[in-house]
Amino acid sequence: MQTLPVMLPNHLLSIYKQMRPEVEEKVFSVDLKGWMKKMLEDVSLAEFEELVIGTARYDRKGARQNYRNGFYQRSLDTVLGWIEDLKIPRPRKGGFKPSWLDKKHARRQESLNRLATECFIRGVSTRDVNRIFKTLCDIEISSSTVSRLTSQWDKQVNQWHRRKLNDDYLYLMFDGVWIKNRTLLGKKKLVLVAYGIKNDFSREIIDYVFAQSESEENWLKFLTCLAWRGLEGQNTHLITTDGCKGLSRALQIVYPGISHQLCWAHKMRNILKSVKEADKKKVKEGLCPLFTGVWTQKQAGSLIHRWARQWKHTYPKTVQCLERDFDRLLLYLNCDPAHHQAIRTSNHIERQFKEYRRRMKPMEIIPNQQSADRILYALTQVRNQKLRERPIAFTHNKLR
């Protein structure tokens, strides 16, 4: 596309060049803060006249609801910077607040508060949040302010952990992740996570809980709580896990009627642990055909038996590792063939673990578990929002 100077006739081009500096000066020297101040004051006065007074100035016939009592001044942090001495009309009986003022005594626009918390969620440190605000809006926001804003999520977090759950999950996945932070009670913290794929093939992180270990007792408490809140598993076809013994025993108690599939990704890593580096590729390639195409349990069993005969003398421990869990590795084949590659591993839940670690590890100060819970809640909501915004077909490539 041609630019404006090229498109102009010759007799107008010289005029354009002469006027350009003056036009640019006028455009870029607009007092945006002054314009915004006047706009906010005008809006306040209009709302005051309509909602509070009920009549126009000097009108003696209308049904007057209140009386004018001058103005008071308010300064405010806005997206354009700090605006001083905003004139807000004051009624004699009180009680008026302009619509653009989110809270009666607020000194900062709510959009800026949301921006600060969003920066924090996305991994920006509290100090860097201040630098961003200084650059964009020429205002400062302290680290303590960011912490105070995020602390307001506590009620929201508790409600989310206690919300009623729908029993419309086709597949469930459970796993635990250890999160490391320099100041989080001086040690790693374990988080148990539940992930579900619904009947409409949408996905979400259902809930998480802090625990001391992946023991049967801790998993049983978590699963029992989920079941009590509505996740009874009536419509669930398969549960996929990494093979944790405590989790397996807890699943037999809470969800005894649901097939329990072991994650092939975890099992493959365990199989290759005792294999020499030179043979790892060959050992793995012998099982890889299982992960392409459509297989029945009989066909898959025959392939595994051939693979076991080939390697049982060279790597007996490797073969035993696979044969020990043979029955629980092929349960996914009883489900819809279109879903096989998506449900044979718990990799979907691992994607969120990566985000938890990335965000929590570099944070300098997480004083207690409540603070950590707020951060994990925010990260979980961000992830769930992404999953809701991207409705997908049920295929392996798109379920990551």
> Which is more confidently placed, 115 or 383?
383
The total of other beta-carbon atoms located within 10 Å of residue 77's CB is: 20
Cα–Cα distance measured from residue 291 to residue 303, given in angstroms and rounded to the nearest whole number: 12
Contact (Cβ atoms closer than 8 angstroms) between residue 192 and residue 212 = no
- Grade residue 399 by pLDDT with cuts at 50, 70 and 90: very low
pLDDT for res 56 = 56
pLDDT at 241 over 90: yes
pLDDT for res 100 = 64
Alpha-carbon dihedral sign for residues 108, 112, 114, 119? negative
Burial class (CB in 10 A: 0-12, 13-18, 19+), 10: exposed
Q: What is the mean pLDDT of residues 21-45?
A: 64
> Which is more confidently placed, 248 or 131?
248
Cα–Cα distance measured from residue 82 to residue 384, given in angstroms and rounded to the nearest whole number: 35
Percent of all residues in the chain with a pLDDT value above 70, rounded to a whole number: 70
Cα–Cα distance measured from residue 204 to residue 260, given in angstroms and rounded to the nearest whole number: 20
Cα–Cα distance measured from residue 269 to residue 282, given in angstroms and rounded to the nearest whole number: 14
**Domain coordinates in residue numbering, the chain:** 169-389
pLDDT for res 1 = 44
Cα–Cα distance measured from residue 184 to residue 196, given in angstroms and rounded to the nearest whole number: 28
Contact (Cβ atoms closer than 8 angstroms) between residue 321 and residue 266 = no
Task: Name beta bridge partners: 169.
Answer: 198
- Grade residue 2 by pLDDT with cuts at 50, 70 and 90: very low
Percent of all residues in the chain with a pLDDT value above 90, rounded to a whole number: 26
3-state secondary structure of 52: helix
pLDDT at 192 over 90: yes
Q: What is the mean pLDDT of residues 258-271?
A: 92
pLDDT for res 80 = 62
Cα–Cα distance measured from residue 231 to residue 235, given in angstroms and rounded to the nearest whole number: 10
**Cα→Cα distances 337→29, 166, 199, 269, Å:** 64, 25, 16, 24
pLDDT at 163 over 50: yes
pLDDT for res 8 = 47
Radius of gyration of the chain (CA): 31
Residue in the block written with tokens 């000097």: 58
What are the tens digits of pLDDT across the range 224-236? 999 999 999 999 9
Q: What is the mean pLDDT of residues 22-43?
A: 63
Residue 351 corresponds to which tokens in the numbers above? 């994607």
Distance from the Cα of residue 78 to its chain's centroid: 27
Q: Which of 284, 333, 278 is nearest to 310 (CA)?
A: 284
- Grade residue 397 by pLDDT with cuts at 50, 70 and 90: very low
Burial class (CB in 10 A: 0-12, 13-18, 19+), 242: buried
pLDDT for res 264 = 92
From 12-16, 117-121, 134-138, 351-355, the region with the lowest mean pLDDT? 12-16
What are the tens digits of pLDDT across the range 276-319? 999 999 999 999 888 888 888 889 889 999 999 999 899 999 99
pLDDT for res 175 = 92
* Mean pLDDT for the chain overall: 78
What are the tens digits of pLDDT across the range 354-391? 878 777 765 655 657 777 788 888 888 888 888 877 75
73: enclosing H helix or E strand = strand 68-78
- Grade residue 339 by pLDDT with cuts at 50, 70 and 90: confident
Q: Are strands 189-198 and 259-262 parallel, antiparallel or unpaired?
A: unpaired
SS3 for 317-335 is HHHHHHHCCHHHHCHHHHC
Q: What is the mean pLDDT of residues 106-115?
A: 67
pLDDT at 219 over 90: yes
Cα–Cα distance measured from residue 145 to residue 129, given in angstroms and rounded to the nearest whole number: 10
The dihedrals phi and psi of 241, each to the nearest 5 degrees, come to -140, 175
Residue 52 corresponds to which tokens in the numbers above? 């509070």
What are the tens digits of pLDDT across the range 34-62? 666 777 777 777 777 766 655 555 555 55
- Grade residue 103 by pLDDT with cuts at 50, 70 and 90: low
Helical pair 245-254 and 216-228, crossing angle rounded to 10 deg: 30
